[in-house]
Amino acid sequence: MSSIPYDQMTGKIWLDGSLVDWNQAKLHVLTHGLHYASSVFEGERVYDGEIFKLTEHTERLIYSASRLGFEIPYSIEEINSFCREVVKVQKIENGYVRPVAWRGSEMMAVSAQNSTIHFAIAAWVWGSYFDPKIKLNGIKLDISKWKKPAPDSIPWDAKAAGNYMINTLSKHEAEKNGFNDSMMLDYQGNIAEATGANVFFINQEQTEIYTPIADSFLDGITRRTVIEIAKKLKLKITEKKIKPDDLKSYTGCFLTGSAAEVTPVSQIGIYSFKVLDIIGKLSEEYQLLVRKKIVT
Instruction: Render pLDDT for 224-237 as a digit per residue (tens, 0 to 9).
Output: 999 999 999 999 99
User: Structural domains in the chain?
Assistant: 6-125 (3.30.470.10), 132-290 (3.20.10.10)
Side-chain-side CA neighbours of 173 within 13 Å: the count stands at 16
pLDDT of residue 67: 98
For the chain, give the mean pLDDT: 95
**132 confidence band (pLDDT: 50, 70, 90):** confident
Length of the chain, please?
296
DSSP letter, residue 124: E
Cβ-based neighbours of 237, under 8 Å, separated by 6 or more? 208, 209, 210, 211, 227, 230, 231
| pLDDT higher at 292 or 266 | 266
DSSP per-residue letters across 220-267: -HHHHHHHHHHHHTT-EEEEE---GGGGGGEEEEEEEETTTEEEEEEE
Q: Percent of the chain scored above 70 by pLDDT?
A: 98
Residue 265 in this model has a pLDDT that exceeds 70: yes
Instruction: Render pLDDT for 143-181 as a digit per residue (tens, 0 to 9).
Output: 999 999 999 999 999 999 999 999 999 999 999 999 999
pLDDT, average across residues 242-248: 97
DSSP per-residue letters across 175-208: HHTT-SEEEEEETTS-EEEESSSEEEEEETTSSE
Three-state DSSP class for residue 148: strand
pLDDT of residue 131: 83
Of the residues 135, 159, 176, 240, only one is catalytic, namely 159
Residue 295 in this model has a pLDDT that exceeds 90: no
Annotated active-site residue 159? The verdict is yes
Residue 296 in this model has a pLDDT that exceeds 90: no
Residue 294 in this model has a pLDDT that exceeds 80: no
Residue 1 in this model has a pLDDT that exceeds 60: no
